[in-house]
Amino acid sequence: MRSKIRYQLLDPSAAPKTFKFIWILLFLAVCFVAYYLWIFNPKKGIYDPLTTDKQNPMTYEQVVNDLRNEIDQRNAIISELQKDFVKMELKTEFKAIYPRRPETDHIDCGRILADDKVYLQTVSGKDRVKIVENKNLNMSCSAIMNRILPSGNDLKPLKNGVAFARIVYTDYEMIEKQVQMSYHPQNSFCFAIDKKAPSQFHERLRAMAACLPNVLLLPDEESVDSAGHNINLAHYNCLRVLINKPGWNYAILLQNHDVIVKSVYEIEQIYDWLGGANDIEITPEAGRVDNKKFKWDPVSLKMFRNETGIDKNVLTTSMKFAKGAVQGSLSRGAVDWMVRTVDLSTYINQWNEGSSGVDEQFIQSFQVSADLGMPGHFTDECLKQKRNTDFVSRMSQWMYGSAHKCGSKTVRHAICLLGIEDLRTVAAYPNLMFNKMIPAFDYSIVECTAELLYNRTFLGQVDHPLEENYYAQMVNVLYHKNHLEPNYKLECKPSYTRWAEREYPL
């Protein structure tokens, strides 16, 4: 403002020639004032066109031009500085951004999350991105560590970690991605490999387990199949190994293509709300129990390692049965009980003699056999009321009708395969894992989910706050918390809308 006024005063064309004398006086006065300002100015040394070169007085035009040049120069410097600043900001942000594989590099996960349907069209259907496997993946320990724990990303300590028990047979790079997505030094990862898996897959998992102290690989391998044979045994063997690891308060059972969709901090919070209750799907047993060949009471099952002090009635009465997803969450107390208080070998062997769906009764039956006393257990009361019990550990979308209702419009074995169209559902649902993502079908859903968790974990982004009310009001959680209270009444219908009744896909 001041310099603008000065321009007008110094502009000779604006003043009549007869007033030149007054102008000279005024100019001298201005010089005088400027001189004093310069003397008392703490920022002495800043260029002032009015005080330079006293021997060679300037014309008005020169002064004005000098001032203009000076201002132009400073503006140029300011704009350079501003550009540098923007670049620096971009750079620090760039460092923190989730590193993508090349084939998914062009996918803008943020736009899909923001429901940009036009954009979604360009990365789904025929433009769906499949994984391009790296045949020469560097399996040196430092290369594995660099992929799983990118430097500069610090994790806060957890009050309680998680133990992952996963049965695997294929897609090593996706398995390693799963470890990265849930990695925390306090978490433990146990893998049981299907004996039939290719040798390179075995070698790679061995390299990962040899490198990271909290990645455990079972030494004995069994052959698992789609009828569920040996699935329970593999999980049980993982639990036996995991119980020796400190630092976790829940174990979660998974299979190859189940993807955890909550960050390590979110999982810690969710399990805190479950408060020790196991999270297991409970639906009616489907007539698969072989009662002709086998007995199912604890004595016949050689279940309790020490039968002293256990009610005779409990020991000689057949346990109860239920059916549900193989995936589920068990409290540390439940795992400790399964491994140290009881021995489930006979129980597992008897089920392995069956013909189909033999793995779907394992944790369910202990969960509903309240008398056996597994910590965090539930009851069979809701089954008697013909109500299934909700669980949040796994989301899978059963689809018996048209595949058109699946986000990806693709169905396999009556379950929707997940595609990039499911990202919004993945981000919004309360479930801990989604089943199933197949890298050879759609890898961008895996990468966008990984980026989502990365953003939540390392960039502190909150896209969907956790629904505390959901977890804390689950039927099994309320039962666990209150069933020993004298006036407790079991309510089998939850007060909230179950995820399975929600809109799908979002």
Of the two residues 113 and 224, which places its CB atom closer to ligand NAG in the complex? Answer: 113
Q: Does 142 bind ligand NAG (CB under 6 A)?
A: yes
Q: What is the residue-wise DSSP string for 173-222?
A: HHHHHHHHHT--TT-EEEEEE-TTS-HHHHHHHHHHHHH-TTEEE-SS--
Of the two residues 110 and 357, which places its CB atom closer to ligand NAG in the complex? Answer: 110
Q: Which part of the chain contacts ligand NAG (CB under 6 A), choosing from 13-21, 34-42, 63-71, 140-148?
A: 140-148
Q: Does 138 bind ligand NAG (CB under 6 A)?
A: yes
Q: Does 90 bind ligand NAG (CB under 6 A)?
A: no
Of the two residues 69 and 146, which places its CB atom closer to ligand NAG in the complex? Answer: 146
> Whats the size of the chain, residue-wise?
506
Candidates 40, 50, 42, 44; CA nearest to 6 is 50
Q: Which of 16, 102, 309, 401 forms a contact with ligand NAG (CB under 6 A)?
A: 309
| Least CB distance to ligand NAG at residue 453 (A) | 9
Q: Does 120 bind ligand NAG (CB under 6 A)?
A: no
Residue nearest to ligand NAG (CB): 110
DSSP H helix total and E strand total for the chain: 19, 12
Of the two residues 167 and 423, which places its CB atom closer to ligand NAG in the complex? Answer: 423
Residue 236: C-alpha distances to residues 43, 114, 251 (Å): 76, 41, 11
3-state secondary structure of 144: helix
The structure tokens 């102290």 sit at: 213
Q: Which part of the chain contacts ligand NAG (CB under 6 A), choosing from 166-174, 256-264, 302-310, 341-349?
A: 302-310
| Least CB distance to ligand NAG at residue 427 (A) | 8
| Least CB distance to ligand NAG at residue 176 (A) | 14
- DSSP H or E stretch at residue 164: strand 161-168
| Least CB distance to ligand NAG at residue 2 (A) | 42
| Least CB distance to ligand NAG at residue 191 (A) | 22
Q: Does 143 bind ligand NAG (CB under 6 A)?
A: yes
Of the two residues 50 and 372, which places its CB atom closer to ligand NAG in the complex? Answer: 372
Binding residues for ligand NAG, rule CB under 6 A, total: 17
Candidates 230, 233, 256; CA nearest to 164 is 256
The maximal CA–CA distance of the chain, rounded, in angstroms, is: 126
- Chain Cα centroid distance, residue 13: 71
| Least CB distance to ligand NAG at residue 237 (A) | 23
3-state secondary structure of 32: helix
Of the two residues 25 and 97, which places its CB atom closer to ligand NAG in the complex? Answer: 97
Q: Does 207 bind ligand NAG (CB under 6 A)?
A: no
| Least CB distance to ligand NAG at residue 323 (A) | 33
Burial of residue 208 (number of CB atoms within 10 Å: 0-12, 13-18, 19+) = buried
Buried residues in 214-245 as b, exposed as e (16+ CB within 10 A): bbbbbeebbebeeebbbbbbbbbbbbbbbbeb
Q: Does 244 bind ligand NAG (CB under 6 A)?
A: no
Candidates 405, 412, 322; CA nearest to 370 is 322
Q: Which part of the chain contacts ligand NAG (CB under 6 A), choosing from 136-144, 351-359, 402-410, 471-479?
A: 136-144
Tokens of 217: 């690989």
Enumerate residues 426-465 that contact ligand NAG by CB under 6 A.
448, 451-452, 455, 459
Of the two residues 98 and 271, which places its CB atom closer to ligand NAG in the complex? Answer: 98
Of the two residues 263 and 388, which places its CB atom closer to ligand NAG in the complex? Answer: 263
Site string for ligand NAG, 144-173 (x = CB under 6 A): --x---------------------------
Question: How far apart, in whole angstroms, are the C-alpha atoms of residue 506 and residue 462?
Answer: 18
Through-space distance between the first and last CA atoms of the chain, rounded to whole angstroms:
56
| Least CB distance to ligand NAG at residue 208 (A) | 14
Question: How far apart, in whole angstroms, are the C-alpha atoms of residue 36 and residue 142?
Answer: 67
The structure tokens 């019990």 sit at: 389
Query: Could you list the residues that contact ligand NAG (CB under 6 A)?
Result: 97, 109-110, 113, 138, 140, 142-143, 146, 306, 308-309, 448, 451-452, 455, 459
